[in-house]
């Protein structure tokens, strides 16, 4: 039985990936290493927690001893590294936590893989999952490609850029077999509701303000999380060592357009009068260093590995709204306690 380590597997993208891997590859033991911070939730994996090829291990990727013990215990054939602090707003208020987890944690994993695999890298792979935010901000035209110069603008994106460089350095210096992917904004079920889409859906349901930074003119490329997972699967099994692959949804939308679309969908699904939710839109002070536009060119992934999205943007949004409206208990559990305090502090709006 092969053994694959997935870090951050109780988080949003990680839980989708763990579920996919456990179900699709029954001959592979999936070990989920997660610290269970505010964004890690084992409720996300209830449907696979008793699967014979799934193991959960609680731990911090910065803990060298803990990570080394897991490599010794399971003899991993591969690592898919998703564990990261990922919210830009939090990185602005607490950058050191992002440096610790995203940079030091990545190096800890790289060192453990190198020590465990030594000079016999046959059948081994270290897959680092990153973000399009490392490339900085685009104007109205153009796209990020795998050769775009790095230009991070926030402590979050700078920490991810640093981890990307370190992964490449271990490939060139030590020959460690690695691949990297940089993805656009993910959406779908199980996303922690500090992020725009679940926050808006939840607030509409509860008649709360919909906080929009600035004028809502910032543009993001939206990628359905299950399509991202299928891309990770392809890259893990067929990607070329040492290469980077960009994963985008080809769905560029201004934030205000996206919010108004969600207002329309949620109003319709809840049987409310059209336009009711839009009255909740509340413009708040813009985020410091807010990148104007992200857009990804995924042609390398499409042409080399044959990847393509499985749903349109409209289909993905309908599925996502349905998921959150049908998982009220999950949302209630997630949005209690410290999250509410963070919400009030971040958006200056009473929860």
What whole-number distance in Å separates Cα of residue 222 and Cα of residue 194?
16
Strand 219-224 and strand 185-187: the pairing is parallel
Burial call 33-57: b when 16+ CB within 10 Å, e when fewer: bbbebebbbeebbeebeebebbbbb
What three-state secondary structure class fits 219? strand
* Residues involved in catalysis: 132-133, 156
CB atoms within 10 A of CB 214: 14
Rounded-to-10 torsion of CA 162, 68, 63, 1: 80
Residue whose C-alpha is closest to residue 168's, from 201, 63, 160 = 160
């Amino acid at each position: 039985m092969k053994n694959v380590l997935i870090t951050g597997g109780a988080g949003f993208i990680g839980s989708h990936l763990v579920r996919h891997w456990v179900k699709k590859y029954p001959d592979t033991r999936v070990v989920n290493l997660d610290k269970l911070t505010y964004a890690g939730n084992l409720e996300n994996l209830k449907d696979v927690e008793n699967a014979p090829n799934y193991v959960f291990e609680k731990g911090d990727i910065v803990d060298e001893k803990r990570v080394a013990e897991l490599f010794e215990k399971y003899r991993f054939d591969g690592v898919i590294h998703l564990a990261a602090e990922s919210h830009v707003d939090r990185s602005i208020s607490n950058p050191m936590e992002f440096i610790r987890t995203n940079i030091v944690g990545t190096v800890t994993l790289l060192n453990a893989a190198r020590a465990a695999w030594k000079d016999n890298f046959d059948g081994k792979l270290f897959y680092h999952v990153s973000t399009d935010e490392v490339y900085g901000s685009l104007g109205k035209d153009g796209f990020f490609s795998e050769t775009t110069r790095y230009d991070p603008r926030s402590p979050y994106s700078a920490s991810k850029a640093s981890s990307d460089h370190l992964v490449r350095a271990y490939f060139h210096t030590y020959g460690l077999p690695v691949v990297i992917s940089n993805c656009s904004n993910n959406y779908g079920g199980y996303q922690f509701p500090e992020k725009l889409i679940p926050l808006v859906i939840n607030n509409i349901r509860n008649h709360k303000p919909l906080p929009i930074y600035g004028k809502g003119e910032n543009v993001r490329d939206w990628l359905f999380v299950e399509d991202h997972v299928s891309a990770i699967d392809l890259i893990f099994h067929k990607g070329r060592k040492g290469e980077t692959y960009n994963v985008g949804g080809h769905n560029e939308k201004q934030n205000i357009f996206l919010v108004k679309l969600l207002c329309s969908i949620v109003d319709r699904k809840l049987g409310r009068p059209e336009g009711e939710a839009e009255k909740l839109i509340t413009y708040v002070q813009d985020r410091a260093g807010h990148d104007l536009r992200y857009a990804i060119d995924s042609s390398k992934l499409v042409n080399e590995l044959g990847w393509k999205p499985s749903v349109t943007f409209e289909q993905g949004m309908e599925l996502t709204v349905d998921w959150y409206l049908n998982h009220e208990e999950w949302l209630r559990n997630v949005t209690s306690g410290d999250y509410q305090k963070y919400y009030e502090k971040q958006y200056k709006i009473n929860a």
